[in-house]
Structure 1
Amino acid sequence: MLSLRSEKKRTAISLWSGVGWAICGCVAIAVTLVAMGRWPAGGGGMTPVAMPAGTQGSGAVASVRTGAGGVQRSLVHPASAATNGVDVLARLETAGGSGHAVQSETNTSNTLNEALQRAFSYPDFTALAGRSDPEGLVEAAAWADACAGGMLAAQEQLLRCGDAKLHEARYAEDMLKKAADAGQPAAVLALAQRYPAQWLEIPLPGGDMLGDRVFTLAARGHPAALAMLSQLCAVEGACVEPQLTRNVLALLQLSIYKTGTSDVSQYLTGPESERRAAADRAAQLRARLNWPA
């Protein structure tokens, strides 16, 4: 187990501690995102929480509890990057056929904490830095980020962080962007979590935007990426056809989370005709995107 400094310091400086995303307004699902943390106090994973429509109020800022100490902070939704409205459903369909690489789930770190544990199986950073595959890149990024953020105990900091570049925050973030560009899911989501108001338009080394990678993950049924899109569309004016989009995203999430009920109507909003339209669109998307069974 990685030796870390006190819980108090870790809570104070962590940007990616486990976060519960409140999907607001008329959104039919609230998904609790855990394990997108920088160095989470608990294990990785996500806990979906299905909530009937209309049980939460709308708003651009959601107050949540995060970190080992339960410190409360606000999450700013990325409305600034979507002033003209994002056609989320069209982008999902496009992303499904884009051909962008996404690292397979086999032998893949799901969080930066997991990537760090794997990285420390190497005797030194130089041995790891030579890898160019997505998993190698995210493991190197996790190592560099732990050193730059002073997240290790003093003895381990001396042992693991001798290379001067490991103390540069810019180097760690550049490594994370390379991993995200290569389609490593933990890197994509960690970067998006670091910049909740800008993730749609953060450029990656290969010329694409970070938002492209988030949509690619969502198009493959990645729960955390779908939750980010739902949160985006909870902001007024952020998405085109907002009610249809929120209903479709709710149905896509329900198809993954298995709520234990066959009555999905309680998770949708609007008149019956619009609910049927959402069900039809969700079915079309699942067929076109080779949705997970």
Structure 2
Amino acid sequence: MTAPNVKDLRQAGFTLIEAVIVIVVIGVLGAIVALFIRMPLQGYQDSVARAELTDLADLTVRRVARDLRLALPNSIIVAADGSTISFFITKTGGRYLVAEDEVPGFKDFLAGGDEVDFAGPRPAGKQEILPGDSFVVNNLGVAPADAYASTNLAQIEAISVIDDTNFHQYRLKLESNPFATQIPPMPSAGSRFHIVGPPVSYRCNAAAGGAGSMTRQWDYGIVRGAPAANAGTISVMTRRVSNCSFSYGDSAGRSALVTIRLELEVPEGGTVKLVHQVHVDNTP
């Protein structure tokens, strides 16, 4: 066996200078690669953030729009600064009986008394008429047919069945009867009525940098327009609100257009602005 050549042993491996050069070259290549990858990655992250904001804004305005389509005719009120919108939500409706229907023993609440009869399928499920709901006729939004002033609104005390097989006739007992004392009388031309719950409000709490929110407020009693900021029950519809507003355009008293403007923003940057319009039927 021959001894290893000392010169060959000295030439094996890398020198320190060679290792430093390799590290420098790898660092330069990494910087070049990062330069080209950073912008696409940032663009992807921005696209994801905008998509999330857009979905959040769209979900919020559609939730508001769903309630607005159920608004009691002529009950929508928007604050002067556009920060809040308030209205009664219609639960169900129908047609009350009048003398021309020639139904024996029906109760004519317009002539007095605290009972009103209606015919047709009895509402069920989420539309079921319950004690505590409000009975409204011919709401015009002005006296003497103004639900906010309770001149054409009465609380329901009870509901009973008169005939559930032939005429499908039912009877509502009212806690009071403002309809018989209206001056002038304001019955519905089509003998229509609406059943509503308490008013609801949507409030914009906009703040710079997306620090604001939009809230839904209910169970605060009957108040014309926006209630006190802390009244009733409040739930947050969305956060990240930097700007929002409501506007209401009435057209000949029979239809209206509600415009919702919502702007969402994230602290890292990125803003989504959404405008949504809802057609409202104001035929009482």
TM-score interval for Structure 1 and Structure 2 normalised by the shorter chain: under 0.3
Between structure 1 and structure 2, the one with the greater Rg is: 2
Give the TM-score of the pair, scaled to structure 1. Answer: 0.22
Structure number with greater CO (CA < 8 Å, separation at least 6) is 1
User: Normalising by structure 2, what TM-score?
Assistant: 0.22
